[in-house]
Amino acid sequence: MLALAPPSVLAQITTGTVTGNVRDAQGGVIPGATVVLISETRGTKSAPAVTDEAGNYVFPNVTPDTYTVEITLEAFKTVKRSGIAVSGADRIGVPPLTLEPGAIAETITVVAQSPLVQTQSGERSYAVTSKQIENLPFARNNFTTLTAFTPGVVQTGASAGGTRLGGAGQNNIMMDGISAMDTGNNGQMLNMNVDAIGEVKILTQGYQAEYGRSSGLQITAVTKSGTNRFRGSGYDIQTNSDWDANSWVNEKNGDPKPKTSTKTLGYTIGGPVGKPGGNNKLFFFYSHEYRPVTAAINTGNPIRIRVPTALERAGDFSQTRDNTGALFNLIKDPLSTLPCAAGNAAGCFQDGGVLGKIPANRLYPIGQAILSRYPLPNVTQTPGLNYNYEVAAPTTDNLTQQPSIRVDYQLSQKLRFTGKYSGQRARKLITPGSLQGFNDVQNPYPFITNYGATVDYQVNNSTFLEGTYGFIRNQLAGGGSIGGVGAALPGGILVNDAANRLTSLAGFPLLYPDAGVVDPRYYAFTTLNDLNPVWFDGTRINLPPAFGWGSRIVPTQTGTAGVGDLPGPPNQLFPGFLNINRTQDVAISLTKVWGSHTSKAGFYNNHSFKAQNTGAGGVPNLGFQGYVNFANDTNNALDTGFGFANAAVGVFTQYLQQSKLIEGSMIYNNTEFYLQDNWKVNGRLTLDYGVRFTRQQPQYDQFLQMSNFFADQWSLANAPLLYVAGCSNGAVVCSGNARNAVDPRTGQILTAPGAANTAAAIGTVIPGTGSLTNGVRKAGDGIADTSYVWPKLVVGPRFGMAYDLTGNQTFVLRAGGGLFYDRPDGNTVFSIPGNPPISTSQDLRNGQLQTLGTGLSTTGVPALITFQYNAQVPSSWQWQTGVQMALPWSAALDVSYVGNHGFNRVRAFQGGANGSVDLNAVDIGAAYLPQNQDPTLGPSSVPGASAYTTNLLRPFRGYSNINEQETRFWDEYHGLQFSLNRRFQNGLAFGTNYNLALSLKGNTGLQFRLQHAADGTISIRDDQAQYETLNENLAMQRHVIKSFAIWNIPGASRFGRVGRYLLDDWQLSGVLTAGSAYRPGAI
């Protein structure tokens, strides 16, 4: 059902080009004939074109539609050929038309379908028309799902809209010539439903110079437009959990089936603004889809949480049960040196003779206030239960809408205007949290807005101008968790009064009291002042810290269905991302038809702005709210043994806080221009060649909060000293409380009030030594404002050709290739503003909140996230060659060889640690060397088990991970692609795509095996090549098959009215997806 159709030479890729040739009855060319395109749906006419000396004509900037070609010349009969379907980005080659002698009033009409093969270009591309969209069996809520039917493309992987087999590039998605990309993850910002879409074009590789920004798939969609007749449609698609069986797990646990129901309803209407069928110039199309959804949080499973009991809030833990439901009333008194165990409870709290009861004068009121913030239990905890509070998962009723409107105005034969709006809107609902009334959230701006306008103007008979402006924006709030416990539900800002720290925890001692002050330049400042939540006073955020509760309350740290780790009490967190993403596109092209050439020059600029708060260098649990861990910990001499009891007396195991909220205000401009020429050398050979010039500005923080690490500026002399391990009992080998942190200069044991030992400080910074920004340079401070650079201008040549072997457009040899450039996703840089020196942090261990600062205070070594300073623009050479053959019964066969070589690539899509190189990784084998063994641990039969802690082995002392995004990766792919398709005709369509991968080499997705010299110089180990060879073809699927079929079942009208009603108008369709497995890799 996929139509093989060649692309146009348009920068805006929303219009197509129609070319053809006019001959006489003897086959001679006819110059000077007048050719006009007539829209079959609107009746509008194009400005006339005149055939050149070779009998050729060209219509650039043709709006997607179905046209009739009308040719007139004095002393010849008029010829009309109908059924010429033009899609966005098509270059249609109309077969030669013959003029016969006669009166111009006489008309010869030729009815035909669009060509099955591509005769005007050499790229790999596939078009899906509106008729095909209506019949293909696929999920209809996003037009990019159509890429699944494209040869050489699979729907898995990190790329938005599908992944090209063989990799080498991220995708670019455009709607009506406007970018629809989220510049954070390079994903799709607006997932538009297919009923608003008229045409979809997928270019897989080797495309022309007018396509840029990305080197992967170019997915372009054109919204539907109105015709000269009023037409409309309606639809209703539903799912309901009542139609499904309960899961096996729920049945075994006695849990009810989660309740969900979805509906997708919509309608479309379009037509002329004027009399239907009349001589109209203004047309409209409007569609509106509604998606009411009833869904339960926690995937519908019951909410089960362990909350403090009334006795525990009062300091009485005599009836307390742990996460297994077992009685746990052995609550140790931190001031006692006596044991607190089942056999000897002398050191346990036992006020009034009640084991586990804490005296009133030992309770910490703020700690009690923390415990009292949660609801009381409604379930009696018994052996085997790890919770005492249970409620059914609350449901939400939401409504998402997708309106879309398009207006086309043909002011004259030479001037045309198109305007459009599409978007997504949802209700501003309050979504219940795992504890309703405690951690409920709201997405304040559940809207996506996309609008644009295009003007086409024919300057003269051979010169054409087109310009487009577009805008798309979304605003999101959600994600994030601290301590692995109780993340807020996805999608919002906390709305409950209980989230205001000044109400319930006004006296809570903060390490950085001003950490919640929001920079007035930040998007968060504007948003919070607009929303005015109870926990924001106009300048500062007053949310409580996040709390951790330990293994006797929270047995795992795995997360549960978006509500955090149960059964521990949830936290109240600022969104992991509160952001706005806005892009603006400007595109201008000028087309000149001269002789057998159609030349084009174009300009394109994509401006992106994305503001988003970030973490602090990837340090776990570190945030501006603070993280207080009340967990039970035998290394803490003040530990009572139970998390709630620790809170009741103010004892913490760890108190960690970042000095301030950090938000990156990330911007970039992608400025590109190109020159392109399509040369029809003769009736059989067409050459398509050009060059694209790209200035790809790095994505950076306009407030200059980014920084970078330079290994050559790091100095061992300036590196801070770190505590090592030592034995306080004078022994060489020790464990438990005898093993402590030691200053290596003096051998002095580090001690701290309340700390049974100071082992937590081993590998941390000794205060007053070295520099915590050793080798780090702030953006604009001796380095570029962008904090990293790459070439300011790169050049990408492109070439394509098509040779009609038979001369009748039934057997065509095609080839193409070129150099393409990629913009990495924003996630590669969004965390960089959290690096030092922008913010600092404190990490306190084993102390009491009421005597803050008297416990163990450590300065951890910072982690860094950076981007290679002198980077390269990710690139790929792509090439392909093959043949297309028109077969009987409206079928076509395509057989092609494809290849690409990606270089200067980042390690992986989506940034983050998985896509970075740790410059400060411990050298391979270092843990086995004799000089790297910790004597306090003693010999071990397990190699490396007695090595120093990781931070003491790192080559750049004073830092933890230095995760750098590097453009030093490459890959190379070779494969064969086969495609057999029959277009929809006589009620039947089918297609099969088969991909045979031949090889996939490279190091993309692998690690660099680094080694470090004493001066910090980094090199790659000699066995890197062997490691890469062992992992060849690692991500390659040898065989991939995609097939589909659509059959309109013949009716049964001959059986009368009943048979017609029951048996007519049925359709059978299906899709088959198959593929071989991936091979395992080598470590």
Torsion of CA 956, 959, 963, 965, to 10 degrees: -60
Contact of 765 with 724, CB cutoff 8 Å: no
Domain membership flag for residue 958: no
CA-CA distance, 541 to 806, in Å (whole number)? 73
- The model's pLDDT over 270-319, given as tens digits with 9 standing for 90+, comes to 999 999 988 999 999 999 999 998 877 877 788 899 999 999 999 999 99
242-278 CB burial, b ≥16 within 10 A, e <16: eeeeeeeebeeeeeeebebbeebebebebbbeeeeee
Contact of 299 with 561, CB cutoff 8 Å: yes
Report the length, in residues, of the chain: 1083
- The maximal CA–CA distance of the chain, rounded, in angstroms, is 119
Contact of 174 with 210, CB cutoff 8 Å: no
**Band of pLDDT at residue 660, cut at 50, 70 and 90:** very high
Domain membership flag for residue 103: yes
Nearest to 56 by CA among 683, 800, 686: 683
- The model's pLDDT over 121-146, given as tens digits with 9 standing for 90+, comes to 888 888 776 666 777 666 678 888 88
Order the strands of the 962-965 sheet from edge to edge: 864-867, 962-965, 917-918
Side-chain half-sphere CA neighbours of 156 within 13 A: 10
CA-CA distance, 679 to 597, in Å (whole number)? 5
Residue ending a domain, choose from 111, 132, 150: 111
Residue ending a domain, choose from 111, 140, 165: 111
Cβ-Cβ contacts under 8 Å for 824 (sequence gap 6 or more): 170, 186, 874, 906, 911, 965
pLDDT of residue 115: 67
Residue 734 corresponds to which amino acid? C
Q: What share of the chain is helix, strand, coil (3-state, %, to 5)?
A: 10, 40, 50
Domain membership flag for residue 678: no
Instruction: State both tokens at 223.
Output: 């919204």
Residue 869 region, left (φ>0) first, then alpha (ψ -120 to 50), else beta? alpha
CA-CA distance, 817 to 879, in Å (whole number)? 4
pLDDT of residue 99: 85
Cis peptide preceding 302, ω within 30 of 0: no
Domain membership flag for residue 83: yes
Query: Would you say residue 480 has pLDDT above 80?
Result: no
pLDDT of residue 132: 65
β strands within 906-1038, DSSP E: 917-918, 962-965, 969-985, 988-1002, 1010-1012, 1018-1020
Q: What mean pLDDT is predicted for residues 1071-1081?
A: 79
Q: Which residue has the higher pLDDT, 25 or 577?
A: 577
Residue 167 corresponds to which amino acid? G
Least confident range from 274-278, 610-614, 1028-1032, 1048-1052: namely: 1048-1052
**pLDDT more than 70, % of the chain:** 90
- The model's pLDDT over 41-87, given as tens digits with 9 standing for 90+, comes to 888 888 888 888 888 889 888 888 888 999 988 878 888 888 888 87
- The model's pLDDT over 161-186, given as tens digits with 9 standing for 90+, comes to 678 887 768 889 999 988 999 998 88
Cβ-Cβ contacts under 8 Å for 698 (sequence gap 6 or more): 668, 786, 787, 788, 789, 790, 829, 867, 871
Q: Looking at the DSSP assignment, which residues form a beta bridge with residue 964?
A: 866, 917
CA angle (1011 as vertex; 1010, 1013 as ends), nearest 5: 145
- The model's pLDDT over 447-464, given as tens digits with 9 standing for 90+, comes to 999 999 999 999 998 899
SS (H, E, C) 108-120: EEEECCCCCCCCC
Domain membership flag for residue 40: yes
Q: Looking at the DSSP assignment, which residues form a beta bridge with residue 146?
A: none
**Band of pLDDT at residue 639, cut at 50, 70 and 90:** very high
Cβ-Cβ contacts under 8 Å for 25 (sequence gap 6 or more): 98, 99, 100, 101
DSSP state of 510: P
Please count the structural domains in the chain: 2
Average pLDDT, the chain: 87
Q: What mean pLDDT is predicted for residues 599-612?
A: 95
Query: Would you say residue 1063 has pLDDT above 80?
Result: no
CA-CA distance, 644 to 201, in Å (whole number)? 59
DSSP state of 536: B
- DSSP H or E stretch at residue 898: strand 891-905
CA distances from 786 to 146, 308, 605, 832 (A): 38, 49, 19, 11
pLDDT of residue 951: 92
Domain membership flag for residue 978: no
List phi, psi (to 5°) of 529: -70, -30
Q: Which domain holds residue 1056?
A: 1041-1075
CA-CA distance, 206 to 979, in Å (whole number)? 18
Q: What mean pLDDT is predicted for residues 658-681?
A: 94
Q: How far apart are the first and last CA of the chain?
A: 43
pLDDT of residue 788: 97
Cis peptide preceding 533, ω within 30 of 0: no
CA-CA distance, 895 to 1069, in Å (whole number)? 25
Nearest to 577 by CA among 831, 870, 923: 831
Domain membership flag for residue 99: yes
Residue 153, classed as helix, strand or coil, is strand
Q: Which residue has the higher pLDDT, 666 or 757?
A: 666
Q: What mean pLDDT is predicted for residues 1022-1026?
A: 91
CATH of the domain at 83: 2.60.40.1120
Cβ-Cβ contacts under 8 Å for 828 (sequence gap 6 or more): 867, 906, 911, 915, 965
- The model's pLDDT over 528-542, given as tens digits with 9 standing for 90+, comes to 999 999 999 999 999
Contact of 65 with 39, CB cutoff 8 Å: yes
Query: Would you say residue 412 has pLDDT above 80?
Result: yes
Contact of 576 with 478, CB cutoff 8 Å: yes
pLDDT of residue 487: 39
- The model's pLDDT over 990-1013, given as tens digits with 9 standing for 90+, comes to 889 999 999 988 888 888 999 998
CA-CA distance, 297 to 391, in Å (whole number)? 12
Query: Would you say residue 590 has pLDDT above 90?
Result: yes
pLDDT of residue 3: 38
Place of tokens 């165990």: 341
Domain membership flag for residue 857: no
Residue ending a domain, choose from 89, 111, 133: 111
Q: Looking at the DSSP assignment, which residues form a beta bridge with residue 16?
A: 62
**Band of pLDDT at residue 409, cut at 50, 70 and 90:** very high
Nearest to 19 by CA among 39, 2, 35: 35
Q: Which residue has the higher pLDDT, 517 or 483?
A: 517
